[in-house]
Amino acid sequence: MKLGRIGYINCYPIYGAIDRGAVPMPATLVTGTPAELNDLLVAGELDVSVISAIEYARHRRDLVLLPDLAISCDGAVRSVMLFSRVPVEELGRATVLVTASSRTSVALLELLCRERWRVRPRLVQARAEASDLDGLAGLPHDAVLVIGDPALLLAGRGAYPHRVDLGAAWKEWTGLPFVFAVWAARRAVRPEAVGAVHAALLASRVWGLAHLEILAGAAADATGMSREACHAYFAGLDFALTPRHLAGLSEFFARLAARGLVPAGALQFLEVA
């Protein structure tokens, strides 16, 4: 079994106990960016992985969701940010840099621009990676979408006068939580094997949420942010997939399906014995 995990600190509360040997994992861990893990899971190079929500929707015929597990927010997320030199209402003719690192975040930004803010900026995929903040800053643009740890770091630089937290923008628009990533398994993998991985992930989450101080210290070492900032970030994230989260996820998918970006269909979960 091969299990994918994102290298960003937002996965620490899920994988922290596994990394420390507190919870045994019956699978080999493979670390990558969200986009890399999306492609590996779809290609069959991974058996189970955290995956961008939109990629699950696009490939739902080949995948099943793991219950009660997600990276989501009910309001501000802090690590998916639009940094802009002008207010969002003035982005109609602007150039907005995006990276390939998170397809869900890009789709959410497009929805917000078209349906919420009624603007149609030119979205340009940057060659620089999201982690290369200096490289992104050197490219001509009016705004930039940054995700993960780099978004947390850029927020402290004060380089852009206008900042929009996409999680908060979705909550203000719909009143619902937003699910950025889910855990999914390939349908071809034995359910018993997937179930064992799922149980380990849930056990690791229990440990992680009970030891956020330890994880905040590790995150501070990895990013250079303060322990307090890392702890506050973890505390603002949801790692569950409750009925309210599912309502938010379904609303997002319905809006994407209406624009022909994902096929319509019901969410399908791993059947847990």
Q: Would you state the pLDDT for residue 69?
A: 96
Q: Would you state the pLDDT for residue 133?
A: 57
Q: Domains of the chain (ranges plus CATH)?
A: 2-72+178-258 (3.40.190.10), 80-174 (3.40.190.10)
Task: Answer whether residue 136 shows pLDDT above 70.
Answer: no
As a whole number of angstroms, the distance between CA 49 and CA 37 comes to 7
Q: Would you state the pLDDT for residue 151?
A: 82
Q: Would you state the pLDDT for residue 132?
A: 55
As a whole number of angstroms, the distance between CA 31 and CA 22 comes to 19
Instruction: Calculate what percentage of the chain has a pLDDT beyond 90.
Output: 73
Higher pLDDT, 19 or 273: 19
Q: Would you state the pLDDT for residue 217?
A: 97
Give the range among 28-37, 172-181, 247-256 with minimum mean pLDDT. 28-37
Task: Answer whether residue 35 shows pLDDT above 80.
Answer: yes
Mean pLDDT for the chain overall: 91
* Contact residues for 210 (Cβ-Cβ < 8 A; gap 6+): none
Q: Please, is 192 exposed, middle or buried when counting C-beta atoms within 10 Å of its C-beta (0-12, 13-18, 19+)? A: exposed
Residue-wise pLDDT tens digits, 216-231: 999 999 999 899 999 9
Task: Answer whether residue 101 shows pLDDT above 80.
Answer: no
Residue-wise pLDDT tens digits, 254-267: 999 999 999 988 88
Across the range 134-150, mean pLDDT stands at: 77
If one counts every other C-beta atom within 10 angstroms of the C-beta of residue 221, the result is: 11
Task: Answer whether residue 109 shows pLDDT above 80.
Answer: yes
Across the range 39-60, mean pLDDT stands at: 95
Across the range 169-198, mean pLDDT stands at: 96
Task: Answer whether residue 186 shows pLDDT above 60.
Answer: yes
121 within 8 A of 110, measured Cβ to Cβ: no
Distance of CA 184 to the CA centre of its chain: 13
Q: Would you state the pLDDT for residue 100?
A: 67
194 within 8 A of 185, measured Cβ to Cβ: yes
Instruction: Calculate what percentage of the chain has a pLDDT beyond 70.
Output: 93
Q: Would you state the pLDDT for residue 33?
A: 86
As a whole number of angstroms, the distance between CA 174 and CA 35 comes to 26
